[in-house]
């Protein structure tokens, strides 16, 4: 592990562009309604998902427009993240899984039919 410890330190990614996940079905936004994640950590999660032949995360590889996830896709996102969290010992991933789970479980205001949106840098 010598020489790779920085991969588990959030400060390593402080200058990364961010992926922004937010509740699209709420009126107004506050800190409880969004998650900001270093793009490098997002790609780590996405590539692990691809290695395990998961379905949703691997295709969320970036877009110029926000991607809106319906209720079924949001549930799939949470399931795939929990799977990855269970097979990988990575606190950066664990922290993001907890944040996204909290985000996904939030109550809808009915502002959109799609609960979660993702904006890529």
Report the pLDDT value the prediction gives residue 2, as an integer from 0 to 100.
76
* Predicted local distance difference test score (pLDDT) of residue 54: 98
Instruction: Check residue 10 and give its pLDDT.
Output: 87
Tell me the β-bridge partners of 119.
20
Cα–Cα nearest to 35, from 111, 100, 115: 100
Phi-psi region of 62 (alpha: psi -120 to 50; beta: other; left: phi over 0): left
Token representation of residue 48: 């692990």
Q: Which of 64, 62, 60, 74 lies closest to 103, judged by CA?
A: 74
Per-residue pLDDT for the chain (121 aa), expressed as one digit of tens each?
778 888 888 889 999 999 999 999 988 777 678 999 999 999 999 999 999 999 999 999 988 889 999 999 999 999 999 999 999 999 999 999 999 999 998 888 888 999 999 999 9
pLDDT at residue 107, as a whole number: 84
pLDDT for residue 99: 95
Rounded Cα gap, residues 34 and 23, in angstroms: 6
């Amino acid at each position: 592990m010598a020489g790779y410890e920085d991969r588990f330190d959030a400060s390593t990614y402080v200058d990364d562009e961010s992926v922004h996940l937010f509740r699209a079905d709420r009126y107004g936004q506050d800190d409880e309604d969004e998650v900001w994640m270093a793009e490098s950590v997002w790609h780590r999660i996405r590539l692990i998902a691809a290695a395990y032949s998961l379905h949703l995360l691997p295709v969320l590889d970036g877009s110029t427009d926000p991607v809106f996830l319906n209720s079924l896709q949001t549930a799939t996102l949470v399931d795939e993240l929990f799977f990855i969290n269970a097979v990988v010992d990575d606190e950066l991933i664990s922290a993001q899984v907890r944040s996204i789970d909290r985000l996904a479980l939030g109550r809808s205001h009915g502002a959109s039919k799609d609960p979660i949106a993702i904006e890529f840098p």
